[in-house]
Amino acid sequence: MTNPFKDYKPEVVEYDEELDGGGEHLIRDDLMSEKEMLKAKITKAKAARKGNQTNYRQPIRTENEVK
């Protein structure tokens, strides 16, 4: 079996921010950090609204329940 890459010569690729869209990852990072902040804020608000409230749920009745 022959090696198909034996004549391969790697070329140097130049990075161009205009062509490659270099700033897009920064926008995503900002959005993700804002999402985490809002998620924490909502979670804290829900916990404060709920307080020490306990929920009581009656057992689910089934057809086979003995009366």
**Tens digits of per-residue pLDDT, 1-59?**
688 888 889 899 888 877 777 777 778 888 899 999 999 999 999 888 877 666 677 77
pLDDT at residue 67 tops 70: no
**Whole-structure pTM value:** 0.43
User: Residue 13 has what pLDDT?
Assistant: 87
CA distance 15 to 26: 17
Q: Which residues contact 23 (CB under 8 A, 6 or more apart)?
A: 17
Residue 14 belongs to what H/E stretch?
Answer: none
User: Residue 23 has what pLDDT?
Assistant: 72
Residue 50 DSSP symbol: H
CA distance 49 to 52: 9
Q: Which of 17, 36, 40 is closest to 28 using CA atoms? A: 36
